[in-house]
Structure 1
Amino acid sequence: MLVRDAMSPVILTIGPAHTLRQAARLMADRRVGSAIVFDPDTSVLGILTERDILNSVGAGQDPDREPAYAHTTTDAVFAAPGWTLDEAAAAMSRGGFRHLVVLDDREPVGVMSVRDIIRCWLGAPRPSLGAVAGAAAG
């Protein structure tokens, strides 16, 4: 099975100036564990995960004042839709992370999580997109 078959095509995109609280609220509302952070001024693409928010709050930082860009991983490993699930899992294992942004021709087309890989390996059905309707936000 390939990443394109297993990834979630629902992408939450936020700007670098969103606060961590805003990001957390959007992620919780959409039941996703990550957000793509895109800076239109620099075309920098990165990822903010639930772990990034947890680390900030755990360090005593104010989620209402902390901007997403300060916690965004911009040197992220990106997956291609044609990667196998084994390739995606290996990249996650090597890098010690749980989410991959899937790029097709340098454009984000989905997000792959460890949960997606496990679901596919177990043959479990994909959750309905209706459960996370409206998950793309600017």
Structure 2
Amino acid sequence: MQVREAMSSEILVVGPDHTLRQAARMMAERRVGSAIVIDPDSEGVGIMTERDVLNAIGAGLDCDTERTAAHLTSEVVYADPDWTVDEAAEAMARGGFRHLVVMAGSEVLGVISVRDIVRVWTGHRTAARL
């Protein structure tokens, strides 16, 4: 199965000036573990994950004043929609990521998460048993 078939195409997009609390609230409301951060003044697309929020809180930072731009996951790895789910899983394992932004050129198509991969793998195993 390809990434395009397993990814979540409904993504949460936040700006670089949202506070961590605002981003965390939106992530909780949407029940997602990441938010795409698009900064029109910078190159590329960033991602902020629940782990980034947790690290900021653990460091004693104020979630009402800290901005998402300062807490993006460094070294973002982008997945190609034509990758297999196995290739995405390998990239996640190599980088220690739980989310990959799926890009086609400069366009964000979605996000694939460990949860998406487990759902696919579990579905295939269940179907194979029937």
- The two structures have a TM-score, normalised by structure 1, of 0.87
Q: Which amino acid aligns with 1:113?
A: S
Structure 2 residue 71 is matched with structure 1 residue 65:
no
Please, what is the CA RMSD of the aligned residues?
1.1
Number of aligned residues: 124
Considering only CA atoms, is the larger Rg found in Structure 1 or Structure 2?
2
Structure 2 residue 71 is matched with structure 1 residue 78:
no
Quote the offset at 1:74 in angstroms. Answer: 4.8
More helix by share: 2
Instruction: State how far apart, in whole Å, the 2-side matches of 1:74 and 1:40 are.
Output: 18
CA contact (8 A) 1:45 1:74 kept: no
Q: Which amino acid aligns with 1:67?
A: R
What residue is the counterpart of 1:19 in the other structure?
19
Unaligned stretches of 5+ in structure 2? 125-130
Unaligned stretches of 5+ in structure 1? 125-138
Instruction: State how far apart, in whole Å, the 1-side matches of 2:44 and 2:62 are.
Output: 24
Q: Which amino acid aligns with 2:123?
A: G
Instruction: State how far apart, in whole Å, the 2-side matches of 1:28 and 1:43 are.
Output: 27
CA contact (8 A) 1:8 1:111 kept: yes
3-state DSSP of counterpart to 2:35: strand
3-state DSSP of counterpart to 1:110: strand
CA contact (8 A) 1:99 1:114 kept: yes
What residue is the counterpart of 2:100 in the other structure?
100
Instruction: State how far apart, in whole Å, the 2-side matches of 1:11 and 1:74 are.
Output: 19
CA offsets per residue over residues 7-32 of structure 1, 9 Å max, x none?
00011111101000000001001000
Structure 2 residue 49 is matched with structure 1 residue 49:
yes
Instruction: State how far apart, in whole Å, the 1-side matches of 2:74 and 2:57 are.
Output: 20
Instruction: State how far apart, in whole Å, the 2-side matches of 1:25 and 1:115 are.
Output: 20
Instruction: State how far apart, in whole Å, the 2-side matches of 1:21 and 1:88 are.
Output: 29
Quote the offset at 1:44 in angstroms. Answer: 3.3
- The two structures have a TM-score, normalised by structure 2, of 0.92
